[in-house]
Chains A and B, each alone.
Chain A
Amino acid sequence: MSANRTREDASNFDAVERWLSRPAGGREAEDRFAALLRDAGPPGPLSAVARARVWSRLRRRPTSRAGIARLRWSVALSVLLTSGVVLGALSARKWWPGNATRTAPESTPAKPHAARGVRGVARPALQPVPTTNDSPPVGEPVPAAAPPAPPGDEPVPETAPPAPPVHAIAPRHTSPARDVTIAKAEPEERAAVREPEAIAPPHFESARRAPVAPSAPPASPASALPGETPLLSGALMQLRQKRDAGAALAALDEYRARYPNGTLKREAESARIDALLLLGRNAEALAELRDLTPQPGGRGQELRLIRGELTAASDCKGAFVDFDRILNEQAAAALVERALHGRAACRLRLGDEPGAIRDLTEYLRRFPAGRFAAEARRALEARSEDL
Chain B
Amino acid sequence: MSPVRQHSSVPADGSPSAAAAHPAPGPVATAPLDVKTIYGRHADDVARWARRFGGPRLDVEDIVHEVFLVVQRRSHEWRGDAQVTTWLYEITFRVVRDRRARGWWRRWSTGVVAGESRGAANDLAELPVDQPNALDLLQRREATAALYDILDGIGEKYRTVIILFELEGLSGEEIAALTGISLANVWVRLHRARQKVLKRFLAWEERERP
Contact = CB atoms under 8 A, between A and B. Distances in A.
Interface stretch (B74-82, B84-92, B169-177): B169-177
A53 B61 contact: yes
Q: Is the interface of B mostly helix, strand, loop or mixed?
A: helix
A13 B187 contact: yes
B166 A58 contact: no
Interface of A: 5-6, 9-10, 12-14, 16, 18-21, 29-30, 32-33, 36-47, 49-51, 53-55, 57-58, 62-66, 69, 73
Given A6-B182, A21-B3, A54-B65, 12 more contacts: A9-B184, A12-B187, A18-B165, A20-B166, A46-B61, A46-B125, A50-B64, A53-B61, A58-B65, A64-B66, A66-B66, A73-B109
Interface string B128-163: 110000000001100110110000000000000000
Nearest to A16: B190
Contacts, number: 146
Contacts of B172: 9-10, 13-14
B184 A42 contact: no
A354 to B, nearest CB: 89
B105 to A, nearest CB: 9
B48 interface: yes
A12 to B, nearest CB: 6
Closest 9 CB pairs of A and B: A42-B7, A45-B44, A43-B51, A39-B143, A13-B172, A46-B47, A40-B144, A47-B125, A9-B184
Nearest to A69: B106
A14 B171 contact: yes
Contacts of A65: 62, 65-66
B43 A19 contact: no
A51 B165 contact: no
A6 B60 CA distance: 37
Given A18-B2, A36-B201, A44 B62 contact: no
B33 interface: no
Given A10-B183, A19-B166, A21-B2, A44 B43 contact: no
A36 B61 contact: no
8 contacts: A37-B147, A40-B146, A41-B7, A44-B129, A53-B61, A55-B39, A55-B43, A64-B62
B158 to A, nearest CB: 14
B167 interface: yes
Given A10-B172, A29-B198, A41 B140 contact: yes
Contacts of A6: 182-184
Contacts of A57: 65
B166 A18 contact: yes
Contact of A40 (B2, B44, B143): B143
A36 B60 contact: no
Interface string B24-53: 000000000001100100011001100110
Nearest to B204: A36
B208 to A, nearest CB: 10
Contacts of B43: 46, 51, 54-55
Given A18-B2, A21-B2, A66-B66, A13 B186 contact: yes
Contacts of B190: 13, 16
B202 interface: yes
Contacts of A10: 172-173, 183
